Amino acid sequence: MDYQAVLEEVAAHARPYVRQGRVADYIPALERVSADRFGIAVADINGDVYGVGDWETPFSVQSISKTFSLALVMAQSHGGHDSIWRRVGREPSGTPFNSLVQLEAENGIPRNPFINAGALVVTDRLQTLTGDASTSMLHFLREESGNEDLAFDQAVADSEAEHGDRNAALAHFMASFGNLENPVPSVIEHYFWQCSIEMSCRDLAVAGGFLARHGLRADGSRLLEAREAKRINAVMLTCGTYDAAGEFAYRVGLPAKSGVGGGIIAVIPGRCTLCVWSPGLDARGNSVAGAAALDHFTTLTGWSVF
């Protein structure tokens, strides 16, 4: 496969979609990002990386971090008696990512780890397991991506906290059901730091390589059992692209996780991990040009999980 040629063609296809949609504007630090940006990278399972456009420009990972917090928690609990799955479900929510209504009806157990409530529970668990749910994630991402310069974006984290009433409400609500182990302020603070990490398409594609390598890290050591990597990929497919996961699976046919920074990572198990970035979002919160690019990638290559 000539990855470089495929990516060039994918980028040309996606170009008309760049600037479509709306850049996230719920915090000023995201609103300032230019809608013109587009980048895509592929990291194959042997460690080779290819990219086009703004593939080396860092952006705010936002909800893509939810994939890594879940992986880190699963890596440390290995489905044991303290399994995270007692505290969070794995069904699509059918409601917006920051919705409160379902939580009340379902006794404080979030539908899945990729809506905010679910990610807060996972972050809470990571906090208990590591003592620092955001720095442990940053260190993992630095190691996996090979980029020691990865960092939190203080302005984004501060701004998330300033506009964080809804996330605080979700956390307090779950605490009232006994579904948090740590104090609410500490859980939401670490969640905001996780969201604020800045990474490029290159960094994310490389760091997500363990999902394509059936749980093996970049250095060949095992992070997750193969069945655990499969499960994360399955939850990405069914729940990873907000309230549009059905449509996304229909179009692209790959496990994926998006974030409101405009990034999407996608996994082709046994082959490669992709990351695409373009800040214009559709009404559900997925990058318009990013989804078009991944759609075209699987069309051109014929690669999907189906």
Residue ranges that bind ligand GLU, judged by CB under 6 A = 62-63, 97-98, 116, 160, 167, 195, 259-260, 285
* CB of 220 vs ligand GLU, minimal distance in Å: 31
* CB of 40 vs ligand GLU, minimal distance in Å: 19
* CB of 222 vs ligand GLU, minimal distance in Å: 29
Q: Do the beta carbons of residue 41 and residue 58 sit within 8 Å?
A: no
Q: Which two tokens stand for residue 40?
A: 């895509």
Query: Where are the alpha helices (H) located in the chain, listed in sequence order?
Result: 3-14, 28-31, 65-77, 101-105, 116-130, 135-145, 154-162, 165-176, 184-196, 201-207, 209-212, 226-239, 245-251, 288-301
* CB of 30 vs ligand GLU, minimal distance in Å: 9
* CB of 261 vs ligand GLU, minimal distance in Å: 7
Question: Which is closer to ligand GLU, CB of 40 or CB of 157?
Answer: 157
* Residues 183, 165: Cα–Cα separation, whole Å: 15
Q: Which two tokens stand for residue 299?
A: 């069309």
Question: Which is closer to ligand GLU, CB of 248 or CB of 303?
Answer: 248
* CB of 53 vs ligand GLU, minimal distance in Å: 21
* Residues 19, 186: Cα–Cα separation, whole Å: 37
Q: Which two tokens stand for residue 1?
A: 């496969």
* Residues 192, 17: Cα–Cα separation, whole Å: 29
Question: Which is closer to ligand GLU, CB of 68 or CB of 303?
Answer: 68
Question: Which is closer to ligand GLU, CB of 32 or CB of 78?
Answer: 32
Please give the full DSSP string across 194-212, using - where no structure is assigned.
HHHEEE-HHHHHHHTHHHH
Question: Which is closer to ligand GLU, CB of 63 or CB of 273?
Answer: 63
Question: Which is closer to ligand GLU, CB of 191 or CB of 303?
Answer: 191
